[in-house]
Structure 1
Amino acid sequence: MSVTPLAHVPTHPAPRFRGRIGRDARSGHYAVPRRYRLHLTPACADGLRIAVVHGLLGLDDVCPVTCLDPVPDCPDGGHSALRPLYEASAHRYTGAAVAPVLSDDWSGRIVSTHAADITRDLAGHFGGGRPALYPCGAESETEAVERMCAQGIERAAQRAGSAGADESERAAGLEQLLDSLGSLERWLDGRAYLIRDHLTAADVELWVALVQLDTVHRHHLDAAAVQRVAGHPTLWAYARRLTAHPAFGTHLDLDGIARRHHAHCRGLEAAGAAVQILDWAAHTGRPA
């Protein structure tokens, strides 16, 4: 998949911990079933990505998951349940104890808080005999999709709905968002998946970006903008089809996403909040 590179605009704080799972005992954090544990909430985008990858790989018995409340219970946006892990991992740690976290049950310390590294390590070291979510030779395509989702969808949607931006900046954000969606619409025409003939991590990235677009960013767009976003039938049919897949739909916590959004959002709600693009709950078969 060919995607024009976009200037990097960070949308999240830099991860505090970026350890990696290695291949053997000499690497320190080597791959052993049930050594590692995930701490996450699928109500946040990174947590949802990891949960779906974990589900696609069938790792319930290999890497247990501790689910956290969708809304952090600390004033700094952290989770009190994660504070002991952070304090054990960094002397006199004073930052927020944020999720997601991959921890090492052997040492009681954090391996990584970097979502992209976590999913790659789960797939690379525990994915033998399972779906190839990061297929060999598709690295640049996967990274292009990640950039487009982060910048062309998430960041652009934030700009388009920013209450503090002027009209020209919001319009530029909307046009960038629509350009990205249009490119994906054309690319998916006649294709079941993004970069291969089977599900990959690129599909997880795009599905999560579309979930966030409809359940979070839409609330700050006007109705006309949402109608234009919705005017990509192939793209939204793709999202609907993936939602019906158990590894995707079972992790979609719509109530948790709404609670998290309302707890953290300081923007103004716009008319687009009333124009839902997909009835996500209907396609998961679970109540909203």
Structure 2
Amino acid sequence: MIVTPPAAHVSDLPAPAFRGRIGRDARSGHYAVPGRYRLHLPTAWPDGLRIAVLHSLLGLDTVCPAAYLPAVPDCPEGVHPALRPLYEASAHRYTGPAAAPVLSDAWSGRIVSTHAPDIMRDLARRFDSDRPSPYPCGAESEIEGVERMCARGIEEAAQRAGAAGGEQAERDAALGTLLEALGALERRLAGRTYLIRDEVTAADVELWVTLVELDTVHRNHLDASAVRRIAGHPTLWTYARRLTAHPAFGAHLDLDGIERRHRARCQGLEAAGAAVRILDWAAHAAR
């Protein structure tokens, strides 16, 4: 049972982490039944976008319907009204934020999971789909390696490189880490259409969402020279353009929502790199 401390203000509290899993059969409690579960996704946020892309790749629109949420809730304290009943039913005396993404169970009216990696793997492994699996047999360690590289080598490094309060040496070191990761990916993609297999996998979903964030969010806090060095990986950004033109990817790209989310949440200073756009994401998504 999860109880939120009453003394803290709602907007200062993290949402509880629900880590339920969908099992193979009825003995697991949560098991795969068409129409039983529902996704609640803000695609302007990285985790929501990852799940939405994978959900479309699997063709699960009728098996596990998805409800798409606004980037920034139009209500006080950043609460998604549609999720409030789910949180209240799932956590005793819950008064904290109603955050997404959420996988909910229509039978109980409660939350199964808010953990994006678990949700993605359960969607791929527990529901029948005639599409190729984004987690092919024997590829799990490679996919996890890409997830770590994206999180540490790109996402965290880009945040440190753009931190206004950091020391110059620290920012330079972070930029070096970021460029090293991009260079490794550039070499890995040479002569390849996708990252680890001959078809789209969860590794491609992870990297694509990370590159979207790098160009639409983190770029705003880097200087122009840094952004040009980041853009100097033509194979990587050609790959990003190609995936954006794929319906399962580009159809979920909410650029306006990403900008609203960034403005509402980010307290960093805008730098000269904000004017150096790497990709025209909207144009490639339209194709």
Q: Which residue pairs with 1:213 in the alignment?
A: 214
Normalised to the residue count of structure 1, the TM-score between the two structures is 0.92
Residues 221-257 of structure 1: per-residue CA shift (max 9 Å, x gap):
0000000000000000000000000000000011111
Distance (whole Å) between structure 2 residues aligned to residue 259 and residue 228 of structure 1? 27
Distance (whole Å) between structure 2 residues aligned to residue 181 and residue 213 of structure 1? 11
Please report how far the alpha carbon of residue 281 of structure 1 lies from its aligned counterpart in structure 2 after TM superposition: 0.7
Amino acid in structure 2 at the alignment position of 1:236: W
Q: Is the 8 A contact 2:21 2:122 kept in 1?
A: yes
Residue 242 of structure 1 aligns to a residue whose secondary structure is: helix
Q: Which residue pairs with 1:200 in the alignment?
A: 201
Q: Which residue pairs with 1:7 in the alignment?
A: none
Distance (whole Å) between structure 2 residues aligned to residue 71 and residue 175 of structure 1? 33
Residues 168-189 of structure 1: per-residue CA shift (max 9 Å, x gap):
1111111110000000000000
- Asked if residue 24 in structure 1 is aligned to residue 18 in structure 2, the reply is no
Q: Which residue pairs with 1:258 in the alignment?
A: 259
Distance (whole Å) between structure 1 residues aligned to residue 39 and residue 24 of structure 2? 19
Q: Which residue pairs with 1:143 in the alignment?
A: 144
Please report how far the alpha carbon of residue 103 of structure 1 lies from its aligned counterpart in structure 2 after TM superposition: 0.2
Q: Which residue pairs with 1:159 in the alignment?
A: 160
Residue 98 of structure 1 aligns to a residue whose secondary structure is: coil
Pair 163,227 (structure 1): closer, same or farther in 2 beyond 3 Å:
same
Moved over 6 A (4+): none
Pair 222,127 (structure 1): closer, same or farther in 2 beyond 3 Å:
farther
Moved more, 175-184 or 160-169: 160-169
Q: Which residue pairs with 2:102 in the alignment?
A: 101
Q: Please show how residues 41-120 of structure 1 align to structure 2 within 5 Å.
A: 41-73=42-74, 76-120=77-121
Q: Is the 8 A contact 1:73 1:80 kept in 2?
A: no
Q: Which residue pairs with 2:41 in the alignment?
A: 40
Q: Which residue pairs with 1:6 in the alignment?
A: none
Distance (whole Å) between structure 2 residues aligned to residue 255 and residue 129 of structure 1? 33
Please report how far the alpha carbon of residue 77 of structure 1 lies from its aligned counterpart in structure 2 after TM superposition: 3.9
Q: Is the 8 A contact 1:52 1:204 kept in 2?
A: yes
Distance (whole Å) between structure 1 residues aligned to residue 263 and residue 140 of structure 2? 36
Q: Which residue pairs with 2:279 in the alignment?
A: 278
Q: Which residue pairs with 2:242 in the alignment?
A: 241
Residue 96 of structure 2 aligns to a residue whose secondary structure is: coil
Pair 56,220 (structure 1): closer, same or farther in 2 beyond 3 Å:
same
Please report how far the alpha carbon of residue 127 of structure 1 lies from its aligned counterpart in structure 2 after TM superposition: 4.5
Please report how far the alpha carbon of residue 46 of structure 1 lies from its aligned counterpart in structure 2 after TM superposition: 0.3
Residue 158 of structure 2 aligns to a residue whose secondary structure is: helix
Normalised to the residue count of structure 2, the TM-score between the two structures is 0.93
Q: Is the 8 A contact 2:245 2:285 kept in 1?
A: yes
Distance (whole Å) between structure 2 residues aligned to residue 145 and residue 79 of structure 1? 31
Amino acid in structure 2 at the alignment position of 1:80: P
Distance (whole Å) between structure 1 residues aligned to residue 284 and residue 203 of structure 2? 21
Please report how far the alpha carbon of residue 15 of structure 1 lies from its aligned counterpart in structure 2 after TM superposition: 5.8
Distance (whole Å) between structure 2 residues aligned to residue 15 and residue 170 of structure 1? 33
Unaligned 5+ segments in structure 1 are: 1-12
Amino acid in structure 1 at the alignment position of 2:176: E
Please report how far the alpha carbon of residue 14 of structure 1 lies from its aligned counterpart in structure 2 after TM superposition: 8.3
Please report how far the alpha carbon of residue 94 of structure 1 lies from its aligned counterpart in structure 2 after TM superposition: 2.7
Please report how far the alpha carbon of residue 65 of structure 1 lies from its aligned counterpart in structure 2 after TM superposition: 0.9
Residues 250-288 of structure 1: per-residue CA shift (max 9 Å, x gap):
0001111111111111100001000000000110117xx
Q: Which residue pairs with 2:10 in the alignment?
A: none
Residue 257 of structure 2 aligns to a residue whose secondary structure is: helix
Pair 95,270 (structure 1): closer, same or farther in 2 beyond 3 Å:
same
